[in-house]
Amino acid sequence: MPLSPRWILLFLCIPGSLFLGNQLANESEPREGSKTTPTPGVGIDTSSNEVGILQKQVQGLQEQVSLLEEENARLLKESQGEDSEVPLPDATATPPPRAGIESEVARALELLDYQGLTSPRIEFTNELGFRKEVRTILAPTGTARWEKRATVWSTLGLIPAETDLLACFEDMILETLPVVASKQDSLLTIAGAPVNIGQVVPPLSALHLGLAPVWTSPATGLEDDVWLARIALRLGEGARARVIDMMERPAPAADSDGMGGNEEALKFFRAPASVRDLFSQLGNRGLAAVQRKIADKAWHTLRDNINSHSLPTAAILHPAAPPAGWKIPPPLGPVQGIEPFWNEPLGELLTQLLLKQYVPERVAAEAATGWNGDLVTCYPSPNGHTQLRWETRWKSTKDAEQFFKALRTFQSNKFGVPIDQDTITEEKTSGSYTLTNQGRSLQIRYTSDRTGVILADASDETSLRQLLPTNHP
């Protein structure tokens, strides 16, 4: 049987690769008698005879591979008969479905006892088709809100600037939960993708309870923090089913994580660590909240919680003692004549994930405890720098002080400005921390009752003063 052209290309390219490696090694060392030092980052001189020879060799190899491909096709045609057409691979063909997904669905129906829900139709698609379906769920009316959300997150320091947040969410869903409930009361999955019961349960629950798909973008008036709390509960239900199933059925040796997911770990590298951490926290915290409901015999309230328009992530993080809540004040007016484009809470979960980007995880978790509400307001700026005001409320003055110090350390580490004695003195005398760096004017201050902390990040001192009114409680 003739060799595949790809293998032939590999064998033929090895000498060329070794030759190129030798040339690179020679270029990296100074030549005898040379008076110049090699410049870092500069490649091989394209005028050199060696490169010209190498280019001719590569061109010759390409021509040989082309001839070998034609010869390989001719031999295949002869082996199948004179008039036979050589079968070419279909680049758009969908691989056959993974055997066993039907059994995972049947197992989920048996385990959760969804009365009245029969086994749904299972539809298969390729990765591109699944990504398109996910995008219609995440951004049914366009990408504008996702772009604003990414701007807010990057200005705070949760994600790097220029991050395509919508694409990152798509990647993570493809990697961790490659099953969605479609509009035709069926399940849609990627053909060939490993699927386990923990991934099947959330979309099955959506069909059973008549809910929208798990990742459905927040409707008008639904805050992101409530949206994430809903997702956590639904992923937690799947994680709980996964735990029970693993106790009753031995898991495959290759599948070792609690939620399951695509066995090709870290298949997508676009999502930053904070987004990956968010997905992990949603599943883990959701599982703890669902387990608490089971222990409290309050399982019947799960649907009400999922449909709630006011359940924050703080209630997921602390199901036994949710925050009392803080009455959010009226939004600020224009700053230098510019209206805000964002005005809603960040939430305790994202507050904790944010702090973790520049302070130790233990400090971040402790500083976020005691959260009692917050409000993020963002404004565009003529110079391209987003201006931001983040007001947080805490259950006690001690909680507020703990958060103030963590946020001060966060900004110090983020901008590389050390905290000196003057900084500590400023905090004690005026209850504030001021930082000017990279064309930004930033200040952290307590509210007058010391139970709140406000962060203002502006492009100039005039805007900073407007973001920090002096008569604030």
CA–CA gap between residue 344 and residue 221 (Å, rounded): 10
Confidence grade of residue 222 (pLDDT, cut at 50, 70, 90): confident
pLDDT of the residue at 47: 42
What DSSP designation does 411 have?
H
The mean per-residue pLDDT over the stretch 352-362 comes to 96
Highest-confidence segment of 130-144, 259-273, 288-302: 130-144
pLDDT of the residue at 30: 42
The mean per-residue pLDDT over the stretch 269-293 comes to 90
211 has a pLDDT exceeding 50: yes
Sheet with 371-379: list strands edge to edge: 342-344, 371-379, 387-394, 452-458, 440-446, 432-437
pLDDT of the residue at 453: 95
Confidence grade of residue 342 (pLDDT, cut at 50, 70, 90): very high
The dihedrals phi and psi of 348, each to the nearest 5 degrees, come to -70, -40
pLDDT of the residue at 376: 95
pLDDT of the residue at 250: 63
Give percent of the chain above pLDDT 90: 34
Pick 134 or 324 by higher pLDDT: 134
Confidence grade of residue 219 (pLDDT, cut at 50, 70, 90): low
Pick 75 or 409 by higher pLDDT: 409
Per mean pLDDT, which range of 52-61, 230-239, 285-294 is the poorest? 52-61
Is there a contact between 378 and 341 (Cβ–Cβ < 8 Å)? yes
Confidence grade of residue 300 (pLDDT, cut at 50, 70, 90): low
Amino acid making up residue 278: L
pLDDT of the residue at 273: 92
185 has a pLDDT exceeding 90: no
Dihedral sign, CA of 230, 232, 235, 238?
negative
208 has a pLDDT exceeding 60: yes
pLDDT of the residue at 425: 78
Per mean pLDDT, which range of 262-276, 291-305, 346-360, 389-403 is the poorest? 262-276
CA–CA gap between residue 54 and residue 124 (Å, rounded): 47
Question: Which pLDDT tens digit goes with each residue over 16-29?
Answer: 444 444 443 444 44
Question: Which pLDDT tens digit goes with each residue over 226-250?
Answer: 999 989 998 998 999 888 888 887 6
44 has a pLDDT exceeding 90: no
164 has a pLDDT exceeding 60: yes
A 10 A CB-CB count for 366 gives 17
Q: Nearest to residue 188, comparing CAs of 196, 198, 201, 178? A: 178
392 has a pLDDT exceeding 90: yes
The mean per-residue pLDDT over the stretch 392-396 comes to 94
Confidence grade of residue 59 (pLDDT, cut at 50, 70, 90): low
Per mean pLDDT, which range of 64-78, 103-117, 146-160, 164-178 is the poorest? 64-78
The mean per-residue pLDDT over the stretch 137-164 comes to 93
CA–CA gap between residue 335 and residue 284 (Å, rounded): 40
Is there a contact between 394 and 388 (Cβ–Cβ < 8 Å)? no
pLDDT of the residue at 112: 77
Give percent of the chain above pLDDT 70: 70
Highest-confidence segment of 99-108, 183-192, 278-287: 278-287
Pick 28 or 49 by higher pLDDT: 49
472 has a pLDDT exceeding 70: no
CA–CA gap between residue 196 and residue 243 (Å, rounded): 11
Structure tokens at 287: 């599982």
pLDDT of the residue at 76: 52
> Across the strands, what pairs with 388?
378, 457
192 has a pLDDT exceeding 90: no
Mean pLDDT of the chain: 76
Helix (H) or strand (E) holding 389: strand 387-394
The mean per-residue pLDDT over the stretch 418-423 comes to 79
